[in-house]
Copies of this chain bind each other. A is one copy, B any other.
Amino acid sequence: MIDWDPLVLTFKLAAITTGILLVIAVPLAYYLAYSRSKLKPILETLVSMPLVLPPTVLGFYLLVTFSPGHPIGRFIENELGIQLLFSFPGLVIGSVIYSLPFMVQPIQAGFAGLPHALKEASYVLGKSRFTTVIRVLLPNMKPALLSAVVLAFAHTVGEFGVVLMIGGNIPGRTRVASIAVYDEVEALNYDLANTYSLILFAITFLLLLLVYLFNGGYLKRLFHKMRT
């Protein structure tokens, strides 16, 4: 019997994570692309570091940090009143940390690849840095943005090490699809695992395909044809 809860949870998690990552990554990537600070290479390196640790291990460190025994965990729980462990918000934070490099790196490369003239022309027209980023720079690096979003989204869908560790695999709350598939494989229920994998695969495939069709202008052309 297929349980749809994990799938819903997965795409909810992936969507929220991707959204938050976009908001964080754009300014960070902007800074990394344009800063001339001596600290920049260090920061650049640090951004990629979440990748180096196996997800479960990263998850374990997050588990320890978020636990009430740890000053940070205690602070978050007591002062901010947020329960991070074994909860959906915790999953989101874990996923955001782990997928950060996938979002930052391509966007940074995108910024770095843009000609300086764009920025300059916008500044001279009196536009603020924010307006310039939103209306001039980002729209001119769509391929980079797209690859960042796709990487972060797909990776969050498939990620399960961190999520498993700080989420506690609670049905309906933190049990996402990747864990469900994993469980079935562990339990040697290969048929069910295949079914889950296929569904996960199919939904994500369709989502991304839509994105790419849209990006390639195929949809536009299709609608155009239909109208005429």
| Chain A residues engaging chain B, CB cutoff 8 angstroms | 33, 38, 40-42, 44-46, 48-49, 51-58, 60-61, 101-102, 105-106, 108-110, 112-114, 141, 143-144, 146-147, 150-151, 154-155, 157-161, 178-179, 181-182, 185, 193, 197, 200-201, 204-205, 208-209, 212-213, 215-216, 218
Contact = CB atoms under 8 A, between A and B. Distances in A.
Nearest to A206: B45
A169 to B, nearest CB: 13
A205 to B, nearest CB: 6
B51 A155 contact: yes
A23 B15 CA distance: 32
A209 to B, nearest CB: 5
A45 B110 contact: no
B106 A57 contact: no
B105 A147 contact: yes
B158 A53 contact: yes
Nearest to A203: B52
B185 A102 contact: no
A143 B111 CA distance: 9
A62 to B, nearest CB: 12
B208 A48 contact: yes
Contact of A108 (B58, B147, B197, B209): B147
Contacts of A56: 160, 182, 185
Nearest to A212: B41
Nearest to A106: B106
24 contacts: A41-B216, A44-B212, A45-B205, A45-B208, A45-B212, A46-B205, A52-B154, A52-B201, A53-B178, A53-B197, A54-B160, A56-B160, A57-B182, A58-B158, A60-B185, A60-B193, A101-B150, A101-B154, A102-B102, A108-B143, A109-B141, A109-B144, A113-B141, A113-B144
